[in-house]
Chains A and B, each alone.
Chain A
Amino acid sequence: MRWLHKLFIQCQMLIHRGRAGRQLQDELQFHLEQQIAENEAAGMGTEEARRAALRSFGNPTTLRDQTRDTWSWQGLELFLVDVRFGIRALVRTPGFSALAILVMGLGIGANVALFTVVHSVLLKPLPFKDQGRLVRLYEANSKGAFQDNVLAGGTFASWQAQAQSFEGIAVNKGIEYNLSGSAGQLPELAHAQQASWNLFPLLGVDAALGRVFLPSDDRRDANPTVILNWGLWKRRYGGDPAIIGKTILLDARPFTVIGVLPAWFNYPDPKVQLWTPIYHERSPEVMSMHTAHNLDAVARLRPGVTIDQATAELNTIQRQIRRQFPDGPVHDAANIRPILDAEVFRLKTGLYAMFAATGCLLLIACLNIANLLVARAATRRKETAVRTALGGSRARLIRGQVIESLVLCVAGGVIGLAFAETALRWLVHMRQDIPRADSIHIDGPVVLFTMGVMLVCGLIAGLIPALSSNDKHILRTLHESSRSYTSAQGGLRLRRVLLGLQVGLTVVLLTASGLLLKTYNRLRSADIGCATHDVLTMEINLPKGSYKTPEQIVTFYEQLVDRVRQLPGATAVAVATVLPGEGHQRDDVFTIREHPALPKGQVHDASTYFADPGYFNAMQIPLLQGRLFQADERLDHSNEVIVNQDFVRQFLKSENPLGKHIKVDVEVPGADAGLEIVGVVADTLEDASGAPNPAIYYPFYSGTQRSATLVIRTTQAPSAMALPAQQAIAGIDPGLAVANVLTMDQILGQSTIGASFDATLLLAFAVISLLLAAVGLFGVLSYIVAQRTAEIGIRIALGAQRTQVMRLMLRDGLQPALSGLLLGLIASAGVAQLIQSMLYGTSALDPAVYILVSATLLVTAVLACALPAWRASRLDPMTALRLE
């Protein structure tokens, strides 16, 4: 308790230091008055009494200071004095201070921004009850090929029935509904999720309004129900609580609204607008198949069960399922990831690499500041020596310097925080593919981090120069008049080492950004095998309610293609389900009728797309063999397929592919008997960074697909076609919503945005650090030249050639740059191995990158050194010597 009381008193003293000072004055004055009064009472005259009292009182100022010394805040007061002193010293050199603060601001700002992203995206727990036990479940291949496969409905049912490791397993699946307009509202395509009823209780989420699903809602024969997300409810229904119990139309079918989710709920992503029960929406057949993989699974581990134990259990169950179904795409193992990890593991390497890069940048900034401070310390050697001689303790001197650099770093940190705020807003805007981007904010931990960074930077930048200036040679410093060309060698050596380190770090940054840039270029220039310029695409999703039969679907799309084709500027129009560069969407297993049965447990698998007759022409995918689909191959007369070159390479080798039949379990009529291969087209890439894979094109006019992408190749700017095309769609069905109106370039841009972003950002960091290194080199060499003016003067006077002087100076300046370069190249080779997974088509030791980096650095170094070296060679020996 006593320490508490003491602390209280001390805090009071801290707050009321000013008042306490006045009170002390008053107290001492009172004492003096008392003494005078006593002296007077003893019979002295007024003046004599006063003088006697003062005499016995001693020096009032000393007394006051001695008393103040007992207050515990003396240290703080000294600190404040040092801070004031430091600020004064910085204000005296406004150019230096502004530059230093700006450099620190950039460094700290970049770090704070990246830390905020790493903290909010990778580290901050999801807002669910006891989220440590929440995991995502995947089907996997025991040989390690596919680790993160979505679940099949049958697998989900088996796991749910048999697995003991979990309190519960729930599934959800993303889908789009056509949310029909009512009372003049526009129809819209709503991102939605179908979920098993137990998903919300499993996550520990309750409805903000109404209720969540019950088991009785999640059945095929239940009344259709829907839960709205907060955003949709506010936006489209005006936040009216009376929505509960009302009916809304999804794909032209009535659904009763039973609940509204809380505003903070944005799982699995913030785009989701509404939820429907999955067993009501999907047929019991699909939900019991082990081959149709389309469900995301979430589970809650029982307390005390580890992920390894649960994985082992699921593996056993899944092996059994595989034994039951040796044919078809049924996996034989399982994989479990913590829920947060599942969301972000793809981003981890990139973000941590960026964070490391900002760390390097900050370190470079610190070294630069340290370097500048060493130079200042050197110019202030006399002042330091005088202060030491007058009794200033070494600790106090060091503290002064550290405080000076702390002041710089704190100012830089404040600017950095503002800079980070701007950078984050830009980043969230640029990278909408980052999961949990909505949770990126500067919050308490970030501010703490900023303060920590400021402190560490201040200490690093302040201690290096402070410790380097030792006071062992005060006398010599004081003796030295101006013959200073032999002095300060220690400081100079230190500056060279700092500079070497700085150059080394810069080289690492340059190399890493060079490798990533090359990767990005490779991705950009990767030929995905189809037309990419002047192609506009838009997604259409026909509602189930009003397009019930294949005839209706085919009629709509035929009409649409026909109308759009007549628009001025459209050269080719087509529809297909998946476009190149849109990633992997669907694959089917199949057998080839003409081949002997495969050994048990083996299957053929290929990506599958639906395309109309005009697709290959519109996308300029060349036909290599056979023919394309024909206009009359529709509905029941559509049992032909086209395959790609890779398909032939993998499954038919040297056989003639034409006339072979593919037996596959798909909605196309006649598929179980076998679909005839009528043509072979060139390969396209699903992913710019991937290799081609075998693919089958089914005829789109079989009429089984309600959703498709309309493709328009144009002669004019593709975006100019968007409005006329949408009007054409509205002309056929005014209630139809169109989504994702994008050019082909944009689709490809989206798939490379991560690479481009990482490369650009890293390059920016590298350029900044290159600039800093150049400034450092320039500063050091200018300093050397200034220090050696007299020596150079003598050399020239004795007959040294200008070029010799210049060479001498250049060598002096380039030496740290060269050793830094060597150091940096070695470190780069190591670092490049770490970012190997981010590289595509680029070796971690790509010679071109390393050579270019070395050349860039050398040129920069020579440029930075050239001016001071040239100035040295121009020195007039007489002036130089007279300076002495």
Chain B
Amino acid sequence: MGKPSDLLQGTLDLLILKTLSIEGRHGWAIAKRIQQISGEVLQVQQGSLYPALHRLEQQGWIKAKWAESETGRQAKFYSLTAAGRRQLDSETTQWARLSDAINLVVQES
């Protein structure tokens, strides 16, 4: 449908890892944060956010614990593991290479 919120395949993982690298958050906060930082360009749909979070957890890149949220309700907080940090580094490098490459192609014409 060409909405700006459509994310390039695989980049959601990178965004989540990056968001969590600063501090642990719960799912809603992660989505909000990505939206905010990207200047409302990137809209993370719940339909992709939660499967991604659970997949990353299974991979052992992020870990979760239940804690009290700012509103006083129990919420699931995700944070980065050491393996996740390494993963973030490698995905960042990869992303940089990819976007550079795309930029080169796009700007050439």
Contact = CB atoms under 8 A, between A and B. Distances in A.
B73 A30 contact: yes
Interface in B16-44: 26-28, 31
A34 B60 contact: no
B46 interface: yes
Interface string B55-88: 1011110000010010101111000000100000
Interface in A1-38: 2, 5-6, 9-10, 13, 23-24, 26-28, 30-31, 33-35, 37
B51 A10 contact: no
Contact of A28 (B46, B55, B60): B46
A28 B76 CA distance: 10
Contact of B83 (A2, A62, A66, A72): A2
Nearest to B63: A9
Contacts of A71: 54, 58
A58 B66 CA distance: 25
A70 interface: yes
Given A27-B75, A62-B47, A69-B51, A10 B58 contact: yes
Contacts of A62: 47
A6 B75 contact: no
B35 to A, nearest CB: 11
A70 B73 contact: no
A13 B50 CA distance: 16
A26 B54 contact: no
B59 A57 contact: no
Interface in A474-520: none
- The DSSP consensus for interface residues of chain B is helix
Contact of A57 (B46, B75, B83): B46
Contact of A58 (B45, B54, B60, B74): B45
A57 B45 CA distance: 8
Interface string A52-81: 000011100011001101111000000000
A33 B58 contact: no
B58 A30 contact: no
Interface residues of A, number: 28
Nearest to A37: B71
B56 to A, nearest CB: 9
A66 B47 contact: yes
A369 B60 CA distance: 46
B51 A28 contact: no
Nearest to B73: A30
Interface centre among A2, A10, A72 (most CB of B within 10 A): A2
| B interface, size bucket | 20 to 34
A37 B71 CA distance: 10
B51 A67 contact: yes
Majority SS at the chain A contact face: helix
B78 to A, nearest CB: 10
B89 to A, nearest CB: 15
Contacts of B27: 27, 30-31
A733 to B, nearest CB: 85
Given A9-B60, A67-B51, A31 B69 contact: no
A31 B29 CA distance: 9
Contacts of B83: 2, 5
A67 B55 CA distance: 8
Given A5-B60, A27-B75, A70 B55 contact: yes
B69 A67 contact: no
B47 A58 contact: yes
Contacts of A31: 27-28, 31, 46, 50
* Listed residue (A33, A58, A70) with the most chain B CB atoms within 10 angstroms of its CB: A70
B58 A27 contact: no
A26 B27 CA distance: 12
A34 B28 contact: yes
Nearest to B56: A70
Interface string A328-372: 000000000000000000000000000000000000000000000
A27 B47 contact: no
Contact of A72 (B45, B46, B51, B58): B58
A70 B28 CA distance: 19
B60 A30 contact: no
A528 to B, nearest CB: 77
Contact of A70 (B46, B58, B69): B58
B50 A63 contact: yes
Contact of A30 (B28, B51, B59): B28
Nearest to A68: B54
Contacts of A9: 57-58, 60
B26 A70 contact: no
Given A27-B75, A66-B50, A71-B58, 13 more contacts: A6-B58, A6-B60, A9-B57, A26-B74, A27-B26, A27-B27, A30-B27, A31-B31, A58-B46, A63-B46, A67-B50, A67-B51, A67-B54
23 contacts: A2-B60, A5-B83, A6-B58, A9-B60, A10-B58, A23-B66, A27-B27, A27-B50, A28-B46, A28-B50, A30-B27, A30-B28, A33-B73, A34-B71, A37-B71, A57-B46, A62-B47, A63-B46, A67-B51, A69-B51, A70-B51, A70-B58, A71-B58
State the 4 A-B residue pairs at the shortest beta-carbon distance, nearest first.
Answer: A34-B28, A70-B55, A70-B54, A67-B50
